[in-house]
Amino acid sequence: MTEDLAGGDLSTLRHLNGLAVIGVLRGGPALTLTELSRRTGLSRASTEDVVRELRERGWVGEAEPTAGSVGRPARRYRFRADAGRVLGVDVGGHKILAQVADLDGAVLHTRRVAVGPGLGRRERLAAVDDAVNGVLAAAGRAPSTIWASGVATTGLVDGAGRVTLSEALPEWTGVDLAAHLGRLVEGPVLVENDCRLAALAESWTGVARDAEDVVFLLAGLRTGTGLIIGGRLHRGFANAAGEIGALPAAGWSRARNHLKAWTAPGAVADVFAAARSGDREAAEAVDRYVRDLAVGASALVLTLDPELVVIGGGFSRSADLIVEPLRRELDRWCLRTPEIRVSAFGDEGVALGAVRLALGHVESALNRRPPRGAAAARAR
Amino acid sequence: MTEDLAGGDLSTLRHLNGLAVIGVLRGGPALTLTELSRRTGLSRASTEDVVRELRERGWVGEAEPTAGSVGRPARRYRFRADAGRVLGVDVGGHKILAQVADLDGAVLHTRRVAVGPGLGRRERLAAVDDAVNGVLAAAGRAPSTIWASGVATTGLVDGAGRVTLSEALPEWTGVDLAAHLGRLVEGPVLVENDCRLAALAESWTGVARDAEDVVFLLAGLRTGTGLIIGGRLHRGFANAAGEIGALPAAGWSRARNHLKAWTAPGAVADVFAAARSGDREAAEAVDRYVRDLAVGASALVLTLDPELVVIGGGFSRSADLIVEPLRRELDRWCLRTPEIRVSAFGDEGVALGAVRLALGHVESALNRRPPRGAAAARAR
């Protein structure tokens, strides 16, 4: 795993020591060699060696001297977020969105390829190739410089990155996304359900970043959910959590039918525009949609009692027509209606969650520091 | 809190040091004075003092010398589960059940008082007094020797131990159970919803003790649920989790109606007995009950994807008529049907969960060891 992480680079070095130093520097203040040696348990000489090589690779930089210090202060070193890249890919029904971010999660490059929900497996995977190769080219990066990749897809995903069930996309059940992406980039590839990744993005830097327990609702032509419980993405025992939509009594399978008369391909927003301009039938269709959405949402809220409900997905752009009616319906069914917030990520939330998934993998690898004994034994 | 914990006893001693020693010994092997001194950060002299006083109080005992040791081995000390007691009380619709347990959670004394669901608040509280005073007398214990108490009640409970909403019991909304129990015992009183405590008991020593994510269903004249997520009781942001039964679409409010024709007060089991002996109408009533129970259960399972569903409550005694039909219904609605297990606690699960709640409080107080500096400063 640690070898994979850096695309093989670190394994040519005393990589455990290198990871120990990065693990200490990342997310913390700049440190002197003496401080680094103490925190890593490496000898002073080993620490100097490792820091020199990490600087040569660009992973560690020298920090600016503290203002106002007298005499010649000891040099301090910091982790460079720019040292590596992660990739996030949203494989959606209507688009493929690929993003390259630095190790602090700042998105540096984006590539979007439009697709249709009726596309076959082969064509959709070709569009994935286009988006990924395109964003790597825009970033001026070789596939070997991607430390980890996150991929979002509709449906259920197994632990190996294979789609086990997709109701939204034809021919998608059974596709091995981890293997497919593995041909485009080096480093580990993590695949996860798109609603969950959108929830993860909200919990990371979105409107839910201060909440521990969150129900994220993807509201669009599909309805889905991602759950944050105790500050962590809840996946369930067999990675099948959040599938309340499969229960007819929860109303979600009915919900979108109310909008069907208004739904030309790619023109879903019409019903909201019409309702906004005073069309009574459109307003009633939206009302019926919200009423059905609210049944499943109430089941989630009554089960978990979250601090927040976050509305994302395509319909979040029509929050003015959805949030208040939804709140009234939740008031009707729930013992306590949580605060409702609207995602600010537009249709990039899922890709951002995929970036976060990749970054989480990098972090856990960096934080997996070697035991002191092991590190010391490897020191020169 | 630490003063409360030991009924004031420890506060007359250097109680932080005492708690430090207990915290190290509890749940671990017997230790020598040298080992204890090192683990607590107390001086050798302080450790000797504290151990002597803890032995005088009966909280710490000398362990048997290890078999086969040569010469005179150093004395080793162990925590005595017998040193303190906790109280668990189930304030139910049909009974008050009070249990006294030692610090390992072994139930030593039980007192049961039968009540009716129509009882007023004053009479039910008087029955609580009877049960608690009765079990303390049976244990030969003064109220001051109870280190902590857990109380289970129907309905929603706020953080201060007051019932904020009870639909099952008349006049129960608003009762301050923490204050009422506080008049009967010393030490902290913790109040929690009964379904949750039954779930906690299963997760502690019951059929769910090896599972991280569990949906516990209380199946009886009332239907309720308690959720274990990530190995911990899930309470929700405002302590209102697990209330799926409030949603009409979840079917639980309908479920018991199917059994109503068969339900004389205290004679619920008749419908199961009749179904078992071949009565077609009874069998159909049970079928309809299970079908409605399964809708809400499916909502919970689809939301959380738990490892286990545990059936408890009065109807768990008729598991032969419930589990297989329930499994078939879950198969119908859920993407993955979890394993279903039946509680082995009969109607004592809730009280056992209350014992566990009290014990959890004792544990967290014992584990809250003083910082080294504070302990050292207090050492002679």
Give residue B16's pLDDT: 65
The whole-angstrom distance between B53's CA and the closest CA on chain A is: 39
| End position of a domain, from candidates A82, A99, A115 | A82
Residue A38 lies in a domain: yes
> In what helix (H) or strand (E) does residue B85 lie, and over which residues does it extend?
strand B85-91
Record: contact B304-A236, CB cut-off 8 A: yes
Supply the ipTM of this predicted assembly.
Answer: 0.84
The four Cα atoms A231, A232, A236, A240 give a dihedral, to 10 degrees, of 110
Same domain membership, residue B271 and residue B353:
no
Cα–Cα separations (whole angstroms), residue A93 to A310, A311, B193: 21, 19, 44
Residue A221 pLDDT > 90: no
Name the DSSP letter for residue A162: B
pLDDT recorded at residue B255 = 87
CA atoms within 13 A on the CB side of A42: 30
Determine how β-strand B214-219 pairs with β-strand B189-193.
unpaired
Q: For residue A245, which residues of chain B lie inside 8 Å, CB to CB?
A: 302
Residue B25 lies in a domain: yes
Residue A173, chain B, CB below 8 Å: the answer is: no
Higher pLDDT, A331 or A260: A331
Q: Establish if A93 belongs to a structural domain.
A: yes
To the nearest whole Å, the CA of A39 is away from the closest chain B CA by 21
pLDDT the model gives residue B371: 38
Considering the domain architecture, whether residues A220 and A333 belong to the same structural domain is answered as: yes
Q: B243 CA to chain A: closest CA distance, Å? A: 5
Instruction: Give me the residue label for tokens 């025992």.
Output: A237
Tell me whether residues B250 and A246 touch, CB distance under 8 A: no
B67 and B130 co-located in one domain: no
Taking an 8 Å cut-off on Cβ atoms, the answer to whether B247 and A304 are in contact is: no
More confident residue, A27 or B255: B255
Give the pLDDT score at B4: 39
Extended strands (E) in chain A: 60-62, 77-79, 85-91, 95-101, 107-114, 146-153, 156-157, 163-165, 189-193, 214-219, 223-229, 232-233, 308-312, 339-342
**Do residues B333 and B298 touch, judged by C-beta distance below 8 A?**
yes
| Chain B touched by A158 (CB under 8 Å) | no
Q: What is the mean pLDDT of residues A13-34?
A: 79
pLDDT at residue A367 tops 70: no
Which residue is it, tokens 């029509």? A318
> Is A241 within 8 Å of B295 when comparing Cβ atoms?
no
- The pLDDT score that the predictor gives to residue A110 is 97
Query: d(Cα A180, Cα B6) in Å, to the nearest integer?
Result: 62
A300-349 pLDDT, tens digit per residue, is: 999 999 999 999 998 999 999 999 999 999 999 999 999 999 999 988 99
Q: How far apart are CA B274 and CA B286, in angstroms?
A: 10
- State the nearest Cα–Cα gap between A253 and chain B, in angstroms: 13
Any CB–CB contact under 8 A between B226 and chain A? Answer: no
Verify whether the Cβ–Cβ distance B243 to A335 is below 8 Å: yes
Three-class DSSP category at A113 = strand
Residue of B164, B167, B195, B305 to mutate when probing chain A, most A C-beta within 10 A:
B305
Compare all CA atoms of chain B with the CA of A239 and give the residue at the minimum distance.
B305
Largest CA distance in chain A: 78
Domains of chain A: total? 3
CA distance B362 to chain A (A): 23
CB A303 within 8 A of CB B227: yes
Whether residue A73 sits in one domain with residue A17: yes
A298 and B CB contact within 8 Å: yes
Contact present, A249 and A263 (Cβ < 8 Å): no
Domain end marker among A34, A54, A82: A82
More confident residue, A237 or B369: A237
Residues B242 and B330 placed together within one structural domain of the fold: yes
> Which residues of chain B fall below pLDDT 70?
1-16, 66-70, 263-269, 366-380
CATH number of the domain to which A9 belongs: 1.10.10.10
A160-214 pLDDT per residue, tens? 999 998 888 878 999 999 999 999 998 899 999 999 999 999 999 999 999 999 9
Question: Is B337 part of a structural domain of the chain?
Answer: yes
Written as six digits, the tokens of A244 are 């309340």
Residues B177, B116, single domain; the answer is yes
Q: How many CB pairs under 8 A join A and B?
A: 123
* Chain centre to alpha carbon of residue A277: 36
Nearest residue to A244 via CA among B329, B331, B302: B302
* A267: pLDDT strictly greater than 70: no
Are A279 and A174 in the same domain? no
Of A156, A300, A306, the CB nearest to B237: A306
Contacts of A244 in chain B (CB under 8 A): 299, 302-303
Band of the pLDDT at A378, cuts 50, 70, 90? very low
Please indicate, yes or no, whether residues B106 and B53 belong to a single structural domain of this protein: no
> How far apart are the two ends of chain A, measured CA to CA in Å?
24
- Domain match, B148 and B35 both: no
Q: Among all residues of chain A, which has the CA nearest to that of B329?
A: A247
Domain contains B33: yes
Q: Choose the final residue of a domain: A33, A58, A82.
A: A82
Residues of chain A contacting residue B240, judged by C-beta atoms under 8 Å apart: 302, 305, 335-336
In a domain, B308, yes or no: yes
Contact check, Cβ <8 Å, A243/B305: yes
A305–B227: do the CB atoms touch at under 8 Å? no
Residues A158 and A239 in one domain: no
Q: Are residues A88 and A77 in the same domain?
A: no
| pLDDT given for residue A9 in this prediction | 44
Cβ <8 Å between B302 and A230 = no
Query: How confident is the model at residue B376, as a pLDDT?
Result: 35
Closest B-chain CA to A248:
B333
Percent of residues, chain A, with pLDDT higher than 70: 88
- For A284-309, how does the pLDDT look when each residue is reduced to its tens digit (9 = 90+)? 999 999 999 999 999 999 999 999 99
pLDDT of residue A4: 39
The distance from CA A364 to its chain's CA centroid, rounded to whole angstroms, is 15
Q: CB B333 to CB A242 under 8 A?
A: no
Tell if the CB–CB gap between A242 and B303 is shorter than 8 Å.
yes
pLDDT at position A8 over 80: no
Residue B298 touches partner A, C-beta closer than 8 Å: yes
CA distance A165 to A169: 10
Q: How far is CA B154 from CA B164, B167, B195, B226, B235, in A?
A: 10, 8, 8, 12, 14
Residue-range definition of the domain harbouring residue B68: 2-82+371-378
Residue A49 belongs to a domain: yes
- Cβ atoms within 10 Å of A38's Cβ, excluding its own: 14
**A253: chain B residues, CB-CB within 8 Å:** none
Same domain, A74 and A103: no
A10 pLDDT higher than 50: no
| Cα–Cα distance measured from residue B202 to residue B197, given in angstroms and rounded to the nearest whole number | 9
CB contact under 8 A, B303 and A303: yes
- A255 pLDDT band, cuts 50/70/90, is confident
Look at A335 and B299 and tell me if their CB atoms are within 8 Å.
no
Residues of A in contact with B159 (CB under 8 A): none
Which CATH number goes with the domain that contains A221?
A: 3.30.420.40
Q: How close B249 gets to chain A, by Cα (Å)?
A: 6
Within a domain: residue B202? no
